Amino acid sequence: MGNYYFHHWIAIIGGAYLIISTIAFAYLNRYSKMKKGSLLKFHVIGNLLAVMLIAIHFAQHLGRPAEFAPDLRAGLATFLLLIIALAAGIMMFFGIAKHKRGSWYLIHAGFALSLFIVVIIHALNNFGLL
């Protein structure tokens, strides 16, 4: 499909969905009169699917032979930020460590913002625009 393999397209779809849906969730959660529970379910389920698509892409790159190993600079940073933001989100969603909910929210939001910046740098670099 064009110049990219299938695993690239699913990562592009997953990354785009992750960025767009998270920004939409943050905006609607703050300024909309929609039910917070349905917005949260949309955010959680959709982003878990996006993480799955991105994980498939990352696993494909790690499964390559050593002589064709990828350069893992921004890709590894992206994946690590994604996993940390996901873990903090899971901690908040399932109520693990309820007494520290504010701290988990700051970790989740901070790593999500960092993730957006690194995803944009990673995409621009790999599209040859940076």
Convert the pLDDT of each residue in 11-32 to its tens digit. 889 989 999 999 999 899 888 8
> Confidence band (pLDDT; 50, 70, 90) for 53?
very high
pLDDT for position 69: 65
Dist CA 104 CA 96 (whole Å): 10
Q: 81-119, pLDDT tens digit by residue?
A: 899 999 988 888 888 877 777 888 888 889 989 988 888
Dist CA 69 CA 79 (whole Å): 17
Please choose, from the candidates 43, 45, 56, 42, the residue with its C-alpha nearest in 3D space to the C-alpha of residue 13: 56
How many CB atoms are closer than 10 A to CB 112?
Answer: 22
Q: For the chain, which residues make up each domain, given as ranges?
A: 6-126
Dist CA 87 CA 123 (whole Å): 23
